[in-house]
Amino acid sequence: MFANYVPVIVDGLVDAALIFFVAVGLTLVFSVARVLNVAHGSFYALGAYLSVVIGMWLTGHGWIVASLAALLLSPILIAVALGPLIERTLLRWTYGRPEALQILVTFGLFLVLEDMQKLIFGVEPYSQDTAVQLFGVSHISGIVYPNYQLLLIVLAIMVGIGLRLMLRQTRIGKLIAAVVADQEMAQTIGIDVSRIFVLAFTLGVLLAALGGALASPMIGVAPGLGAEAIVLAFAVAAIGGLGQIEGAALAAILVGLTRASAIYWAPEFQPVVPYLVMVAVLLVRPYGLFGSVGLRRI
Amino acid sequence: MLRLEKVRVRFHDQLVLRDVSMKAASSRTTVLIGRNGAGKTTTLRSIMGLLPLEDGRILFDDFDLATVPVHDRARLGIGYAPEDRRLISDVSVEDNLLLPAVALSFAAFERKRRLDEIYALLPEIAVTRKRAAGVLSGGQGKIVALGRALMVGTRYVLLDEPFQGLAPVLALSYADTLARLRQTRPSLGLLITESTPKLLEKIVDSSLLIERGEVTELTKLIGSHTAAAQ
């Protein structure tokens, strides 16, 4: 009986892990800078593209195990190259301005990044599943699962806990939390708020790109990836309560499990399920599961 | 010496400070007296760099602060306790106190030294140091905000309406605390805003009156407070 649910749970958690990387970055950037970045999904797509291209190149030269490193290296490259640049030039300009303007500017950025991606990587789908093959498979209640998928779940949990520990224990984390709580107070006690903005945004880019890179061995990497990621991440961040790490984690699991359930039992509903969950949660708790009016913490 | 020279500040199209000139000396307690809306908070916020000056200068030991960003003013040794406390509610009292030390990367011994000094001066918050700042009463919160200002404020400490909203007993004990602070840190310059300065009589060295954004010096201190506040 229970065995029937195992595939749903595993698929759901894998889905949740990937959404979590994108949603938690979105929520982090929002809580620090108070900007909902529509272009956030593009970093997911770029992470996927770059790691596939580097991975193919490395595999082509016979460095098969090294292609795994591409999954971690490409998000870092993207974050370092784009994070500070975009924050300093474009995003900074939208702080404290009306939401409509922030959404238009970041939507413009999304279109630019989307076209850049097509110019650089073309429109043909890529696939590069060396990582999935390298890790082999496991048998759970008679069903075969790629170990890579199980590893993803573990990685997402580690990133979630790591982020929480970073915010609680490290110097930078404490400063980020202070800026989230009260930007003006943070300045008067000696925190260089503009530096924290760059750091938090770059960290958000890193997380989204990491999500894309880790997803890439399991999916066909093609145009449209970024749009799909951002819409789901929005839903998850809204369900969890914008600005809440634990909220994003719980919401990602909720959406992942319901999406997987829909695929098994009502496939025609699969695309709308996340939004039905979102509507249901927001009707009962308008600020999301972990959010509340005026709450300023992460 | 902290000196304002013809400082003019506009806020929402309203001239809030009109050519304010005043000074707060080190080793002295300066009280800025005025009713609500007179520009007391605006004066302190301008010194911290939170509001842009339309005209005039703010000098720190003859050094113009115009180009010094807000976060570097803490580094100069200016501590600020806003009227509404501004503590991080889900963080412990001790971590709130230490936040400036973390931001300015003090060495561990320096952190410890200053923290011990703050606890010695403010024993009432030493007992609550593990508690979340959000569960404190308004009065305790004010004292924590003072402690946090003292963490960086080695040269000057700016207190915005410290007695506002305090129960009479707490206000008295807060005033005693300030008197003790005056003794333990004789070189510190204190700039305090108040609408009812009676509680500060014991420690005040210089009283300034602010009215509709204009500051005048009150020469006769004793007995003039009540007249000034009216």
**ipTM value:** 0.88
> Picking from A240-244, B61-65, B152-156, which range would have the lowest pLDDT averaged per residue?
A240-244
Mean pLDDT of A240-258: 92
Residue range A81-135, pLDDT digits in tens = 999 999 999 999 999 899 999 999 999 999 999 999 999 999 999 988 889 989 9
CB–CB contact A175 B88 (8 Å): no
Residue B79 confidence (pLDDT) above 80: yes
**Residue B215 class from Cβ within 10 Å (0-12 exposed, 13-18 middle, 19+ buried)?**
buried
> Picking from A231-235, B86-90, B126-130, B222-226, which range would have the lowest pLDDT averaged per residue?
B222-226
pLDDT at site B227: 42
Nearest Cα residue in chain A from B72: A190
Mean pLDDT value across chain A: 92
Considering CB atoms only, which of B86, B90, B105 is closest to A185?
B86
Nearest Cα residue in chain B from A189: B100
pLDDT at site B225: 44
Distance in angstroms (rounded) separating the CA atoms of residues A36 and A243:
10
Domain covering B2-83+139-229 in this structure, CATH number: 3.40.50.300
Contact status, residue A73 vs residue A55, Cβ threshold 8 Å: no
CB–CB contact A185 B152 (8 Å): no
Contact status, residue B74 vs residue B152, Cβ threshold 8 Å: yes
Band the pLDDT of A1: cuts 50, 70, 90: low
pLDDT at site A2: 66
Residue B228 confidence (pLDDT) above 60: no
Residues constituting chain B: 230
List CB contacts of A201: < 8 A, sequence separation 6 or more: A29, A32, A33, A83, A84, A86, A87, A91
Mean pLDDT value across chain B: 90
Mean pLDDT of B136-146: 90
Name residue, tokens 């573990």.
Answer: A154
Q: For Cα atoms B173, B174, B180, give the angle at the middle one, nearest 5 degrees.
A: 90
Q: Which of B96, B173, B83 is nearest to B134 (CA)?
A: B96
Q: B80: which chain A residues are within 8 Å (Cβ-Cβ)?
A: 188
Mean pLDDT of B76-103: 94
Mean pLDDT of B57-85: 94
Distance in angstroms (rounded) separating the CA atoms of residues A252 and A232:
9
Residue A26 confidence (pLDDT) above 70: yes
Contact status, residue A244 vs residue A292, Cβ threshold 8 Å: no
* Range among A64-68, A203-207, B35-39 rated most confident: A203-207
Q: What global pTM score does this model have?
A: 0.90
A38 Cα to chain B: minimum distance (Å): 29
CA distances (Å), origin A187, targets A52, A267, A283, B81: 42, 51, 37, 13
Distance in angstroms (rounded) separating the CA atoms of residues B15 and B7:
11
Band the pLDDT of B229: cuts 50, 70, 90: very low
Distance in angstroms (rounded) separating the CA atoms of residues A24 and A30:
10
Sheet containing B214-218: order of strands: B78-81, B156-160, B189-194, B29-33, B206-211, B214-218
Residue B226 confidence (pLDDT) above 60: no
pLDDT at site A294: 67
CB–CB contact A185 B82 (8 Å): yes
CB–CB contact A190 B91 (8 Å): no
